[in-house]
Amino acid sequence: MDHDTASRTTLIRSASDAGSRVFETILTRSPISRIDIARQTGLSQAAVTKAVAPLVAAGLVDAPPASHRDGTPGRPVSPVSIVLEAMVMIGVKVNVDEIIAVATDLGTTVLASERRALSSDDPHSVIESITEIVEDLRTALGDSASAIAGVGVAVSGDVDSSTGVVRESNIMGWADVPLGDLLQERLPWPVTLENDVHALTIGEHWFGVGLGTASFAIVTIGRGIGSGLHLNGEVVSGAFGVAGEIGHLPLADPTLVCPCGRRGCVEAAASTGAIETAVSTALGRTVTIDEAVALAHAGDPDADGAFREAARLIGTAIATLVNLTGPEVVIIGGEGVSDFDLFEKTLRDAFEAHAFGAAVRCRILTRPHTFEDWARGASAAAIQSLVR
C-alpha cells in the first residue's frame, strides 16, 4: 500500500459509527445527495456534512459542483459519489481444483482476473497458489496496484470469518485450518476470509439485486445447492456455522441417498450431478450435464423429467425457506442457472403451491453467476470488512 491507500484505510477504519454508515451509504447508493444520505441513515444533515468532508479530502468521495437543474425551486442538490478507483480490492474464490482471483474497484467491477489450477488441496499449497495469483494480479494492475487495500478469500464450508479459521470444509477436506492468519503472514494487505455463499450474499446485498432490501436470500444451483440468508440486515451464520443448507432439506424421495449420507436431500435429486446420474441411468449410458440440457431442450422425456423433478424440488425448498424466514427477495444464482428456462415454470409453480399466505409476494429473481462472480463476492466481503 502506498501512502494514500494506507491513510484512506485508516480513515475508514477509525470512522465513527455515523461516519461509516455515511460511507456505506455513499458506497452503495452513489451518486446520492447529502440530504438523501441523512434520510437513509436517520442522521441530521449537519452530521452528514461533517462526515462527508474528510472522505472528500481523502479522495474517497467526489463532490462535484451542482449541475443538475430540474426546474424545481430551491438550491439544487449536489450529489456526492464514491471514487470507484480510490481503492482496489482483490477477491479470491478457492475451488477444489482451481483458484479464481479478480481485482476490482470499490463497485466490484473487475479490473483484472486470473485463474490457476490447483495441484493439491493441501492448505500450504493453496496458500502458495493464492500468493502467486495475487502477485500475478499485482503485475497485471500496473500502476494501480498501489491502490490495493485488501484481499477477500471465499471458501466453501464452515468458515469463521471473525477469526479467519476454516472450521470445516468437506470439499477441500479441511478442518480447523487458520487460513486467514496463514495468508496474512504472506500478504501485506488485510485478509478477509468468508464462506463462499456468504460472500456472494454480501456482494448482492451491497452491489446487486439485494440492494436496499432488509432481508433476502440467495440460492445457488450447481454442483451443490446452497443458500445465503440476510435477515434484519445481517448475515445469518448459524450458531454452529451451519445455515442456509437448503440443499440438504429432506424434501426428495427418501429412497435417494445423498452424497452426504442422509436420505431424501434436495441435492440428491436436483444438483447437476444428480441430474446427470438420473438421465444416465434412464438412458443406460453416461450423460454429461451439457448433454442432458441438450436432450431436455430436444424434448427427451427422461431428461425433461429429471429437470422437472429438480425444479419442483428447488421450488418447494424455496417455499420452505420463505415460509420460515420471510425474505423480501430470493435470488437464484450459481452456475446452474444458465439453463434456467428448463427450470422456471415448474419451479415457480411449486413455489406458489407451497408458499404460505402473503409469502407468495416474495420476488424470485434469477442471476446467473460465473465463477468470476464468486470471486467478486469475495472482493465485496473484503470491502465490507473494511467498512465495518
21 lies in the binding site for a second copy (CB under 8 A): no
Among 65, 73, 74, 357, binds a second copy (CB under 8 A): 357
324 lies in the binding site for a second copy (CB under 8 A): yes
Q: Compute CA distances 188 → 50, 90, 104, 123, 160, whole Å.
A: 32, 12, 17, 19, 21
156 lies in the binding site for a second copy (CB under 8 A): no
Segment contacting a second copy (CB under 8 A): 194-202, 259-267, 269-277, 297-305? 259-267
Other CB atoms within a 10 A radius of the CB of residue 250 amount to 12
Task: List residues near DNA by CB under 7 A.
Answer: 16-19, 33-36, 42-47, 49-53, 63, 66, 69, 71-79
Segment contacting a second copy (CB under 8 A): 62-70, 78-86, 105-113, 321-329? 321-329
Q: In what order do the strands lie in the sheet with 110-117?
A: 110-117, 98-104, 88-94, 148-155, 191-195
Binding-site partner at residue 136 among DNA, a second copy, none, CB < 5 to 8 Å by type: none
Binding-site partner at residue 262 among DNA, a second copy, none, CB < 5 to 8 Å by type: a second copy
**CA-CA-CA-CA torsion for 360, 361, 366, 372, nearest 10 degrees?**
-110
Q: Compute CA distances 64 → 26, 47, 56, whole Å.
A: 14, 20, 10
41 lies in the binding site for a second copy (CB under 8 A): no
Task: Characterize the bridge pairing of strands 81-82 and 165-169.
Answer: unpaired
Q: How far is the CB of 26 from DNA (least distance, A)?
A: 12
Site for a second copy in 209-228 (CB under 8 A): 213-215, 227
251 lies in the binding site for a second copy (CB under 8 A): yes
Binding-site partner at residue 19 among DNA, a second copy, none, CB < 5 to 8 Å by type: DNA
Q: Are 102 and 377 in contact (CB under 8 A)?
A: no
Environment class of 54 (CB within 10 Å of its CB; exposed 0-12, middle 13-18, buried 19+): middle
Type of residue numbered 358? A
For residue 296, is it left (φ>0), alpha (ψ between -120 and 50) or beta? Answer: alpha
- 23 versus 374: smaller Cβ distance to DNA: 23
CA distance 280 to 307: 13
- 54 versus 178: smaller Cβ distance to DNA: 54
Q: Tell me the number of residues near a second copy by CB under 8 A.
A: 49
348 lies in the binding site for a second copy (CB under 8 A): no
Q: How far is the CB of 37 from DNA (least distance, A)?
A: 8
Across 130-200, the runs of DSSP E, i.e. the strands, are 148-155, 158-160, 165-169, 174-177, 191-195
Cell of 293: 440440457
Contact positions vs a second copy (CB under 8 A) = 158, 167-168, 213-215, 227, 229, 231-232, 234, 236-246, 248-251, 260, 262-264, 316, 319-328, 353-354, 356-359, 361-362
